[in-house]
């Protein structure tokens, strides 16, 4: 793949799609994606939507992605744990 998606954020909304960290890292290296989010376990539609709406809202604007993840994690910790949401941020070299 090319670096066509350099700097993009990708959310994988299906159940258990972030179970394999090496696969996610490889995808990020091959595409240039800066952030991948998704779930590490089965999720129900309503609880995951309750988490995704504020997540997508938090991504609007010019804040640093690490700061967004940290702030969101502190604010929505209960829903993150319930849903098994995970964020994988590209290393600074990518």
For the residues of 33-66, what is the DSSP string, one character each?
A: -SEEEEESS---HHHHHHHHHHHHHHTSSS--HH
Q: Are strands 85-89 and 35-39 parallel, antiparallel or unpaired?
A: antiparallel
**What is the chain's mean pLDDT, rounded?**
90
Residue ranges of the domains in the chain?
A: 9-89
Reported as a pLDDT band with limits 50, 70 and 90, residue 2 is low
pLDDT, tens digit, 9 for 90 and up, residues 38-79: 999 999 999 999 999 999 999 998 789 999 999 999 999 999
Reported as a pLDDT band with limits 50, 70 and 90, residue 20 is confident
Q: Are 36 and 10 in contact (CB under 8 A)?
A: yes
pLDDT score at 93: 57
Res 92 pLDDT > 90:
no
Reported as a pLDDT band with limits 50, 70 and 90, residue 94 is low
């Amino acid at each position: 793949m090319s670096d066509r998606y350099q700097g993009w954020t990708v959310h994988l909304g299906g159940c258990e799609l972030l179970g394999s960290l090496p696969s996610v890292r490889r995808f990020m290296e091959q595409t240039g994606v800066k952030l991948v989010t998704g779930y590490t376990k089965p999720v129900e539609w309503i609880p995951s939507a309750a988490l995704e709406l504020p997540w997508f809202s938090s991504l609007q604007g010019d804040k640093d992605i690490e700061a967004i993840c940290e702030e969101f994690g502190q604010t929505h910790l209960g829903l993150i744990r319930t849903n098994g949401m995970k964020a994988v941020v590209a290393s600074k070299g990518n």
